Structure 1
Amino acid sequence: MLRFFDVFFSLAGLVFGLPVLLIIYVIGLFDTGSPLFLQERVGRNKRPFVLVKFRTMKVDTASVASHLASASSITRLGNFLRKTKLDELPQLWNVLKGEMSLVGPRPNLFNQEELIAERDALGVYSVRPGITGLAQVNEIDMSTPKLLAETDARMIREMSISRYFSYILQTVTGKGSGDRVKH
């Protein structure tokens, strides 16, 4: 049932959000010259997939988890996109393709070994990763791997249609601040 909602809302978001996506893309061309950011992430059953989002950091920024990146690498447009969470919009394509869900554990990088071990032990990789979830609306990010894995596992155990919509609504209305960066 949740997959139906994923497909419906991601398709609607891509169709109705197309003007916004195009505007951000064009502004991104002027901001960094490369408005889309593609990165291999850990997916369901630990299979790799390519996550797509709007670029928020300078093109030459090292490919590390956000909490390890320097705040000085975030562009002015990127700062706005992160605050409004608009940088996540292209991930609707990942949701439509079945690589992600709207709600689920945020997909991590393959070099985040501590987080992978914690999530693996709790069965977190048995579900599709998501754009938002319990950890995100409670400002728990990848800088605390054990807490994040435990929160993700709890979300998976307690998932229901009402919680699915609750996490989406909380995200859309601005709860949670996204991944931290070093200052």
Structure 2
Amino acid sequence: MILRLFSFLLLLWIMGFAWFAIDLPRPAVDDAHTGSVVVLTGGGGRIDRALDILEAKSASRLLISGVDRDVKPAELAAEYDRSDDLFACCIDLGFQAVDTRSNALEIARWAARRGDKSVRLVTSDWHMRRARLELERAMPPDVLILSDAVQTQPSLRTLFTEYNKYLMRRLAALAGV
């Protein structure tokens, strides 16, 4: 009986991992408009994508969440070849987050202060499911979250690790943690 239960759970895990790895989230439609765009630091192409969205006027303000405390707006402007004026007028840097869960809390507080009813979440495709789960838990239910995944070529190890983190957060969410 225990062997059957273990085999069943293992089969569920394998099928879930296959779904997770094969059907990665995709970029959002470019002409979709939201009140804000929020991006989690940590992966290549994320900040570039968020800046492109802001410059296309698909959102009025950008939060870059999880920025190192030593980073200055002018440094980011230079690194991403954007004007200091863009950073001064339309971009906020979030220095409080250290992981995906604290990114979500930082974003939720920022969006609440702004009164946003919709946000576009930008992160890597392999990270989107867990980031969105955390953000949905942190945000009020009436705030629309639009997923905008940056396409990557994740390794099997990255997918394996992220899938297990996602499962653990799902279980923790079910337990109310």
TM-score, length of structure 1 as denominator length: 0.31
TM-score, length of structure 2 as denominator length: 0.32
Name which one, 1 or 2, has greater alpha-carbon Rg.
Answer: 2
More strand by share: 2
